[in-house]
Amino acid sequence: MNKVILVGRLTQDPEVRYTQSGKAVASFTIAVNRFSGQGQKEADFIPVVAWEKLAETCGNNLTKGQRVLIEGRLQIRSYEANDGQKRRVAEVIAQNMEFLERKQAASADDNKDTNPFGGQVVPEEEIPF
């Protein structure tokens, strides 16, 4: 089984292009946190590729810094570089994407205590019912 589930933040806005046959393809990189052997926090930068409707959704709705969940499969492909050397690249082919925060929250951490309709967020334990 080849299944990958990642949670991370976009390192740049997705780049959407179209193939000659008109299929949309979006590419972007997400930074995924992990802990090293010494307990230090490190990040892996994982390239992601999305196709067709999902590519357009990513291109229209994702921005740098936004936190997302990507579900897909790992693909290893080979190509010949301009210098004639054979290269291999690993990337995740996205099959599903979930927003883990609003667009505005990704760019402004000082908006943590407001909801999308304005006003302050009230903790659940303070709701009277």
Q: How far apart are CA 37 and CA 18, in angstroms?
A: 42
Q: How far apart are CA 109 and CA 8, in angstroms?
A: 16
User: Quick one: tokens of 56?
Assistant: 């357009």
pTM recorded for the entire structure: 0.74
Superfamily holding 4-102: Nucleic acid-binding proteins (2.40.50.140)
Mean pLDDT of the chain: 86
For 72-111, write each residue's pLDDT tens digit.
Answer: 999 999 999 999 999 999 999 999 999 998 765 555 554 4
Q: How far apart are CA 45 and CA 24, in angstroms?
A: 23
Higher pLDDT, 114 or 17: 17
Q: Residue 62 burial by CB count (10 A; 0-12/13-18/19+): exposed, middle or buried?
A: buried
User: Quick one: tokens of 64?
Assistant: 């740098």
Domain ranges of the chain: 4-102
